[in-house]
A and B are shown apart, each in its own frame.
Chain A
Amino acid sequence: MTRTRILLLCTTLLLAGCARESAPPRDVSVSVVAAESAAVPGGAVTLGWRFDLAPGWHLYTNGRSDTGLPPAVELSLPEGWTADAPLWPAGRRLESAGGILDHVYEDRLLLLQTLHAPLGARPGETVEIGARLEWLACREGCVPGDTLLTLALPVAAAAEPTRHAEELDRARGELPRAARAGELSWTWEGNTLVLRSPGASHLEYHPSADAGHLSDPRHDAVADGAVLNLRFRPRDGRVGPAHGVLLARAGETIRRLELTIPAAPAATQPQGDPR
């Protein structure tokens, strides 16, 4: 059994590769699946980069964590082909001794990425999509890993959904999204951002890497009920912004809402650290 298993799961999308692997650890298996059987000229193909983790191991989200490093996907595309940025699902909070708070994925990370074929792509041809995946997997200790993949992608006049399309659609449906009317409101009260999500029984804030720093991330970012008070610690003359994801649980439903709340207005920016 190889240390990294590259699963070739798409029946009609030809993966030429498994290509070269450099020091892949045993803790992560990497594979790629696609939602469409081929690229249509001028159309899009949804890829899913899968990181399957052995029990006890985790990867980091692209949000703020005290430790670790998020995975990276670096594409090498033929001329005229483009790709959107990968779409990151919400992770889960992981608290460790010493007040360490991370946001991580366990079991599996499925990163969606949309590939755009140029209008000039010719049906019948096959293009090579190269990808370098890097990650840091941690349990007690951390192990960096990386893999090179080459994807041989057919171009066709029409494409069919693959057997992975449903899984990728489901993953897309679980991505953080903009709040709809009535789902979220907020006000600044000095250093504190008061978030309200009507109907929620539990709220959890997962800050993005560029978000302002909370005074007490372990305690302030979680609340039972529909109101969450985020106390920000002024830093570099700013209070906030609140960027990231708000997880709002209501019964069995979890809403994953994108937060893009700017820093507090200058007039309300208080002085000093509230700690």
Chain B
Amino acid sequence: MTRAMKLCLFGALALLLAVPAFALVPGDDAPGFTLKDTDGKEHSIASYLAAGKVVVLEWFNPDCPFIIKHHKNHKTMNETYAKFADRGVVWLAINSNAPGKQGHGDKRNRQAVIDYALPFPLLLDENGVVGQAYGAKTTPHMFVIGGKGKVLYAGAIDDDRSAGEPGDVNYVADALEAVLAGKTPKVQETDPYGCSVKYVK
């Protein structure tokens, strides 16, 4: 069995066993998933992990004030990604909002890719299965996944929980620096902040 197959298998098992009430915490196995982006291209986290990538997941809603803060008023996400794009880091934004909810839909999200000049894929998870498997609660809610399929960081992007200014400490950037240096992130878990993910009821 190849490494990719093993990761897919463990991912599928993890999805089945996922308890939606809880956000994953560092040390948990990251549930596997395959989702299409706004261009219809499929992305498999298992494939990225099998290729030795470190994966960052960002829960996303183009119309949430906290996403607007980090994607429009400030370029926190794009700039953080740019620091690590050529160092083996894959960044996937995921929109788990249900049909009819704020920020949902192919058209709205294709436009968001343009408006926010997203340099990474935006995946659509309108039934919320992936979001609930990870226990994603806010937009943004950040996860850093290591090569062994473990959650290495979970929580907020930074330490300013307002909808205005970005923080002084970028937890995801710090976690990535540590992981890429073969170390454990100093801060592995924080409380995420933002709008709620608008799941199917």
Contacts and interface: CB of A to CB of B under 8 A. Distances in A.
A218 B161 contact: no
Contact of A143 (B65, B191, B198): B65
B118 interface: no
Interface in A87-145: 96-100, 102, 136, 138, 140-144
A66 B63 CA distance: 18
Contacts of A100: 137, 196-197, 199
Contact of B101 (A99, A140, A218): A140
Contacts of A169: none
Contact of B195 (A141, A218, A235): A141
B162 A69 contact: yes
B102 A97 contact: no
B31 interface: no
Contacts of A183: none
Contacts of B198: 97, 140
A216 B162 CA distance: 26
B65 A144 contact: yes
A96 B19 CA distance: 15
B102 A136 contact: no
Q: Is the interface of B mostly helix, strand, loop or mixed?
A: loop
A67 B138 contact: yes
A275 B201 contact: no
B35 interface: no
B173 to A, nearest CB: 21
A99 B65 contact: no
A84 interface: no
A9 to B, nearest CB: 29
B112 interface: no
A79 interface: no
Nearest to A99: B21
Interface residues of B, number: 34
A98 B131 contact: yes
Contact of A136 (B101, B131, B163): B163
A102 B199 CA distance: 15
A131 to B, nearest CB: 18
A144 B162 CA distance: 10
Nearest to B103: A141
Contacts of A216: 21-22
Interface string B164-201: 00000000000000000000000001011111111111
Contacts of A142: 64-65, 195
A144 B195 CA distance: 11
30 contacts: A64-B191, A66-B138, A67-B193, A67-B194, A68-B196, A69-B163, A96-B196, A97-B128, A97-B201, A98-B128, A98-B135, A98-B137, A98-B196, A98-B197, A99-B22, A99-B132, A99-B135, A100-B196, A102-B196, A136-B65, A138-B196, A140-B102, A140-B198, A141-B64, A141-B102, A141-B195, A142-B65, A143-B65, A144-B65, A218-B21
The 8 A-B pairs at the shortest CB distance, nearest first, are namely A99-B21, A141-B102, A97-B199, A98-B199, A67-B196, A66-B137, A97-B201, A144-B163
Given A69-B163, A96-B199, A100-B137, 10 more contacts: A64-B191, A66-B192, A68-B195, A98-B131, A99-B135, A100-B196, A138-B196, A141-B63, A141-B102, A275-B22
